[in-house]
Structure 1
């Protein structure tokens, strides 16, 4: 199949509009029009990963971390990133990154962590703002159901855990068709009043094109009147981190032992234990120290993430346990998440998980 088919699917799983400003998710190297011989999923691009892809006949490498984060002015093999870019181009390998957009999506990286720990009723710890629009359109009364259903199928109408949400109110619309028109109702050159329904739905900003396309395809009028209004509401189904609850409270050391087992961690750095049971758990894959205040606001007993600095631990202040389980360790199951999604969508397509452990951090025990 064409690489574009894989990319289009991945961007329905994790829309690039959800990535952070500093990120560089998307196709880093390659042509989406190329035939894809198979995909290899990894956390990081290394020489060993590229070698493995070549040896298995795969020409698309899907990495969680982008090979290129910032703009580059020089491409040199003396630079590790430049060397890998040059090699990928020489070997005709494509590289695709799916990073903070996968972190920020529902059922993304942090949700996979929550699943490993068996957390119940997981929700986004820090929902994103500025991601919602309200579509307002005007539809002849006997076409409202058709248009509404089309909007729902295109991804509009979701509010929290509810779907197919809309509002409609009746009124009269007026218009006068010009000489070059073919009006659905009314006559050319005469003002027409039509009983219409004002139909309103909410949609994520990354679905606007699909929803507008569905609106125009299902609406009977030549010229479809609609408004797209930005909303200040937070988007509860996208954002950073996850918070949820254990089925039953656990003693602190027993919970840390569970984390160590489930994430195969040789050691856990943590703040002082409080001597209280743990039930409400907040977590974030990768580097999540910026979410410590959100974990406190959510009433979490513990916050798990990676890359905590010395001074970050002081923020616990006896109110919460902070646990650093490692950046790689917290994100390692992202590979399984992506492979599962790809195999469900493309059951006859070759998708492999790299056998290379790309964690640059080693432990001496």
Structure 2
């Protein structure tokens, strides 16, 4: 397992796209392709925490607060932040911060506190705006079901308590490929009229990369 594998799992709980604009979350120190020997979880990445990671052969520190909040102009060991970064780099230790991404996560820090207090009427005080996006694509109707299912499988079309949500409209699509084209239907330099379905799916913005990848892999 590499660092990126751990990050992907953490992002299923707390997508980094939900972090506040002022924050500095994600992999702050190290290489995402590093093979993980052990993980140490902490509130703050203090010098003593790095020492503990070294002693326990943990080369990935997952911290709530980011050790690097603003840009560093030098790494000379003058401040504890610089000393942490120096020692982490010297010992090939990666540091990942999650902070407000976890604060804003649906089942994150605040949700856990509410559950611990056994609160009954819970709602988000300041909901984030603009977390939803829409994907629109055209596909031959014969392949529409398969493409829709693939997009749903990776989280597209999930809205609140509902999933597999989409809007579909049928029509006629036209295209004519040039001599360098390789169309699934028809031949180069041939005008085609095909019955197509327009699929529209709403998704959370942190899923954009995986949805576009799935679309490219499954569209005929």
Question: What range is the shorter-chain TM-score in?
Answer: over 0.9
What whole-Å deviation, never above 9, does each CA across 1:202-235 have from its counterpart, x for those lacking one? Answer: 0122211211111122221xxxxxxxxxxxxxxx
Change (3 A) 1:137 1:55: same
- Give TM-score scaled by structure 2 length: 0.92
Q: Deviations over 1:310-352 (max 9, x none)?
A: xxxxxxxxxxxxxxxxxxxxxxxxxxxxxxxxxxxxxxxxxxx
**Is the contact between residue 135 and residue 200 of structure 2 (CA under 8 Å) also seen in structure 1?**
yes
Distance 1:127 1:50 in 2: 35
Higher normalized strand content (fraction of residues):
1
Give the match for residue 56 of structure 1. Answer: 56
User: In structure 2, what is the Cα distance between the partners aligned to 1:52 and 1:190?
Assistant: 68
For 2:189 and 2:32, locate their aligned partners in 1 and report how far apart those are by CA, in whole Å.
49
- Determine whether 1:106 maps to 2:106: yes
Residues 158 and 165 of structure 2 are in contact (CA less than 8 Å); yes or no, is this contact kept in structure 1? yes
- Secondary structure at 1:138's aligned position in 2? strand
Whole-angstrom distance in 2 between the partners of 1:195 and 1:92: 56
- For the structure 1 residues 188 and 54, does the alpha-carbon distance in structure 2 shift closer, same or farther, using more than 3 Å as the test? closer
Q: 1:157 corresponds to which residue?
A: 157
Kindly report which structure 2 residues correspond to 1:342-357, keeping only aligned pairs within 5 A, or say none: none
List runs of 5+ in structure 2 lacking aligned partners: none
Residue 115 of structure 2 aligns with which residue? 115
Q: Deviations over 1:220-258 (max 9, x none)?
A: 1xxxxxxxxxxxxxxxxxxxxxxxxxxxxxxxxxxxxxx
Structure 2 match to 1:213:
213
Q: 2:43 is matched with which residue?
A: 43
Q: Deviations for 1:297-322, whole angstroms, at most 9, x for unmatched residues?
A: xxxxxxxxxxxxxxxxxxxxxxxxxx
**What is the TM-score normalised by the length of structure 1?**
0.57
- The equivalent of 2:176 in structure 1 is 176
In the alignment, the residues of structure 1 paired with residue 92 and residue 219 of structure 2 have an alpha-carbon distance, to the nearest angstrom, of 45
8 A Cα contact 2:13 2:107, kept in partner: no
Mapping 1:258-273, distance limit 5 Å: none
Kindly provide the CA deviation profile for residues 99-156 of structure 1, in whole angstroms up to 9, marking residues without a partner as x.
1111112211111111212234644332211222111111211211101101111221
Residue 77 of structure 2 contacts residue 83 of structure 2 at CA under 8 Å; is this kept in 1?
Answer: yes
CA distance in 2, matches of 1:130, 1:3: 29
Give ranges in structure 1 of 5+ residues lacking alignment.
221-365
CA RMSD of aligned residues (A): 1.7
Q: Secondary structure at the match of 1:28?
A: strand
The answer to whether the 8 A contact 2:47-2:80 is kept is: no
Please show how residues 125-204 of structure 1 align to structure 2 within 5 Å: 125-204=125-204
Task: Find the aligned partners of 1:161 and 1:117 in 2 and give their Cα distance.
Answer: 24
| Structure 2 match to 1:300 | none
Choose 1 or 2 for highest CA Rg. 1
1:333 matched to which residue of 2? none
For 1:121 and 1:158, locate their aligned partners in 2 and report how far apart those are by CA, in whole Å. Answer: 23
Say which is worse superposed, 63-72 or 179-188, in terms of deviation: 179-188
Aligned length: 220
Aligned residue for 1:33? 33
